[in-house]
Amino acid sequence: MPGMAAILRLAALALLLAFLLTPQSFAPLFAPLTQYGAPPIYDQGNLLTLALAHLGTVCCAAAASTLVAVGLGILVTRPSGAQFLPLSRTLVNIGQTFPPVAVLAVTVPLVGFGEKPTLIALFAYGLLPIFENTIVGLQTCPAAVLEAASGMGMSARQRLLSVELPLALPLILEGIRLSLVINVGTATIGSTVAAKGLGEVIIAGLLSNNNAFILQGGLVTGLMAILLYDALAGLERRICRTAHLD
Amino acid sequence: MISLENLTKQYGATAVVDGVSMVIERNSITVIVGTSGSGKSTLLRMINRLVEPTRGRVLIDGADTTGEPAHLLRRRIGYVIQGYGLFPHRTVAENIATVPRLLGWDEARIRIRVAGLLSVFQLDPGAYAHAFPHQLSGGQQQRVGVARALAAEPAVLLMDEPFGALDPIIRAKAQDDLLDIQRRFGTTILLVTHDMDEAFRLGDRVAVMSHGRLLQYDRPAVLLTRPADPFVSRMTGISDRAMRLLSLTTAGEAALPGASDGPAVAASASLREVLSELMWCGAESAAVMDADGTRRGRLTIAAILARGRPG
Ligand SMILES: Nc1ncnc2c1ncn2[C@@H]1O[C@H](COP(=O)(O)OP(=O)(O)O)[C@@H](O)[C@H]1O
Ligand SMILES: [Mg+2]
């Protein structure tokens, strides 16, 4: 079965690359979806450039979410920061429940159109899974292990860096992966405020009533999400195996 | 030498350790026994300051333990807990090297020390140095836990129910090993248990705790023959106290001059074991032999029974 999965994965990657590098060769496939001789392949920009910009935005937002969520997760699991747990949880939950579109509406007047409001929306939307997983990872370190670490004479900082974070790492990575994958899809809304990304393709399709564009934007986004999820899961397994955290 | 002076820990209004004063001799094994919740672990954890006392103080070789940061103090004190708390993401060798690394020993010295400890604890370095804790049996994990605690050659070793998770046969072996280790390194050991047999077997002195208070602190034989409190006699067990008393003396210590045609017993055997052997063989006396095979003397049933009486 792992053989089968690997083949599917490779096929998906090959399909994605082929489409991004030579979109015109797929024109016959998409032609039936168009009407009145409209272009079957998105022609208002380079698909590869858009996909890379999309991925770049998502990764920047994820990096910021990771920094803040892991930092906050560490803070609220220290005895001195425990009092901030309810507040932090509320804030992070708002970040997730407040619709990203609404975040755009609020931030555009403040920071203008383009990447910035999108980054802020994705950042806020991606905090929750990383934050919660960091907390669970840190809180489920076995009590005896923590007691031994302190008993051996590790300072609080040494204990955090050499015991708690390594043991929490698998869960933290899982949180980052969830956050990234959710945001690959969510990032399409950035195009409503003129951020470069695959949302552009979908919006162009909606505006010109071109189903081929909509499908292309959706397919590329979906394939990227699936492949990213898969790749990160593999990376996670490898990191955990070399660190013997399984 | 460790001195506890009026050591008290309160949580809210309850004193879980209540005015405990005792002096722990250097190079000895002191065992703290008591029922669950009597404050044994809290007492132990105040010595390495994992718990800060509400009142009272701890002196190690005359120096107050609050004189340095707690984490530096702990690097000089070995600590073994039930469940061991081995670091699951680190190899056996890395686990054992924890405190030497914290102390900044150079790698060559650490390597030699780890190899030495692995062999003392009967863990073949080839097979186990690079194994991970989850690959070890319970008995092996326990030994790694003790090896890790002893790695930086601490003068004091604190052990909180270190054998609690072992089955009886492995536990007996681990107890023997601990006695060996204590003799070999001269470590001052303070061990917590709720198992009276373990206390009698290991302790040069035994402290009995109940509800946070130290009821009696003495040699095991004194706890049996002159209990300070009804609770102490209940803890030490009334029904088999004579047998317990016999188990505290070795044949070598009790041997009388003379020969015997009865069974040969080792000088290191306890009188309880010798008596059992004599009953089993239907003999009146036994020949006590040293480890090297020379005759130490003899023991009669009457002489053994006399040793099982108080006073
Ligand atoms: N951090 C704490 N907060 C409140 N009560 C505690 C704490 N630690 C221990 N206790 C209480 O102190 C008592 C003694 O605990 P402990 O020293 O662990 O006993 P033992 O090791 O003899 O079983 C118990 O009743 C326990 O519930
Ligand atoms: Mg306890």
ipTM over 0.90: no
Structure tokens at A58: 């998502």
Non-local CB neighbours of B276 within 8 Å, separated by 6+ positions:
none
Query: Chain A residue closest to B152 (CA)?
Result: A152
Residue of B9, B10, B11 best suited for mutating to test ligand 1, as the one with most atoms within 8 Å of CB: B11
Ligand 1, atom 3: nearest CA belongs to which residue? Answer: B11
Structure tokens at B220: 């095991």
Non-local CB neighbours of A66 within 8 Å, separated by 6+ positions:
A130, A176, A179
Q: What is the DSSP string of A111-140?
A: H-SSHHHHHHHHHHHHHHHHHHHHHHHHHT
Q: Do A152 and B98 touch (CB under 8 A)?
A: yes
Structure tokens at B187: 């470590």
Q: Is the pLDDT of residue A243 over 80?
A: no
Mean pLDDT rounded to a whole number for chain A: 92
Three-state SS across B6-51?
A: EEEEEECCEEEEEEEEEEECCCCEEEEEECCCCCHHHHHHHHCCCC
Q: Is the pLDDT of residue A69 over 60?
A: yes
- pLDDT of A5 reads 84
Ligand 1, atom 24: nearest CA belongs to which residue? Answer: B37
| Residue B36 alpha carbon to ligand 1 centre in Å | 9
Ligand 1: lining residues by beta carbon, under 6 Å: B 11, 16, 34, 36-42
Q: Do A147 and B81 touch (CB under 8 A)?
A: yes
Restricting to A residues 114-153, those with a Cβ less than 8 Å away from any Cβ of B are: 142, 144-153
- The pTM score is 0.89
Query: Chain A residue closest to B135 (CA)?
Result: A244
Query: Do residues B146 and B121 lie in contact, with contact meaning Cβ atoms separated by under 8 Å?
Result: yes
Non-local CB neighbours of A59 within 8 Å, separated by 6+ positions:
A180
- pLDDT of A1 reads 56
Residue-wise pLDDT for B193-236, tens only, equals 999 989 999 999 999 999 999 999 999 999 999 999 999 999 88
pLDDT by residue, tens only, chain B of 311 residues: 999 999 999 999 999 999 999 999 999 999 999 999 999 999 999 999 999 999 999 999 999 999 999 999 999 999 999 999 999 999 999 999 999 999 999 999 999 999 999 999 999 999 999 999 999 999 999 999 999 999 999 999 999 999 998 999 999 999 999 999 999 999 999 999 999 989 999 999 999 999 999 999 999 999 999 999 999 999 888 888 899 999 999 999 999 999 899 999 999 999 999 999 999 999 999 999 998 888 889 999 999 999 988 87
Q: What is the distance in angstroms between the Cα of A21 and the nearest Cα belonging to chain B? A: 43
Mutate to test the interface with B, among A141, A152, A164, A239 (most CBs of B within 10 A): A152
| Residue B37 alpha carbon to ligand 2 centre in Å | 7
| Residue A93 alpha carbon to ligand 2 centre in Å | 39
Q: Which of B83, B88, B102 sits opposite A152 (nearest CB)?
A: B102
What pairs with residue B31 in β-bridges? B191, B206
Ligand closest to B211 (CA) is 1
Amino acid at B72: L
Closest CA to B250 of B304, B295, B178: B304
Q: Do A152 and B50 touch (CB under 8 A)?
A: no
Non-local CB neighbours of A219 within 8 Å, separated by 6+ positions:
A19
Ligand 1, atom 27: nearest CA belongs to which residue? Answer: B37
Ligand closest to B209 (CA) is 1
Q: Do B71 and A155 touch (CB under 8 A)?
A: yes
Q: How much is the CA Rg of chain A, to the nearest whole Å? A: 21
Closest CA to B121 of B161, B99, B151, B100: B151
Q: What is the distance in angstroms between the Cα of A177 and the nearest Cα belonging to chain B? A: 22
What average pLDDT does this structure show over A83-106? Answer: 91
Amino acid at B109: R
Instruction: Residue A244: list chain B partners with CB under 8 A.
Output: 88-90, 132
Closest CA to A186 of A34, A93, A58: A58
- pLDDT of A35 reads 84
Residue-wise pLDDT for A153-173, tens only, equals 999 999 999 999 999 999 999
By residue count, chain B amounts to: 311
Instruction: Residue B83: list chain A partners with CB under 8 A.
Output: 142, 144
Residue of B8, B9, B38, B42 best suited for mutating to test ligand 1, as the one with most atoms within 8 Å of CB: B42
What average pLDDT does this structure show over A3-19? Answer: 91
Instruction: Residue B86: list chain A partners with CB under 8 A.
Output: 145, 148
Cα B72 from Cα B40, distance rounded (Å)? 23
- pLDDT of B222 reads 94
Q: Computed from CA positions of residues B204, B208, B213, B215, in that sequence, does the dihedral angle turn out positive or negative?
A: negative
Domains located in chain A, CATH noted: 46-245 (1.10.3720.10)
- pLDDT of A246 reads 59
Q: What is the distance in angstroms between the Cα of A6 and the nearest Cα belonging to chain B? A: 29
- pLDDT of A245 reads 67
Instruction: Residue A145: list chain B partners with CB under 8 A.
Output: 85-88
Query: Do residues B77 and B156 lie in contact, with contact meaning Cβ atoms separated by under 8 Å?
Result: yes
Cα B53 from Cα A160, distance rounded (Å)? 25
| Residue B50 alpha carbon to ligand 1 centre in Å | 13
Query: Chain A residue closest to B102 (CA)?
Result: A154
Q: Is the pLDDT of residue A242 over 80?
A: no
pLDDT band at A2; cut points 50, 70, 90: low
Helices (H), A80-210: 85-97, 100-111, 115-139, 143-152, 156-159, 165-186, 199-207
Three-state DSSP state, B255 = coil
Q: Is the pLDDT of residue A34 over 90?
A: no
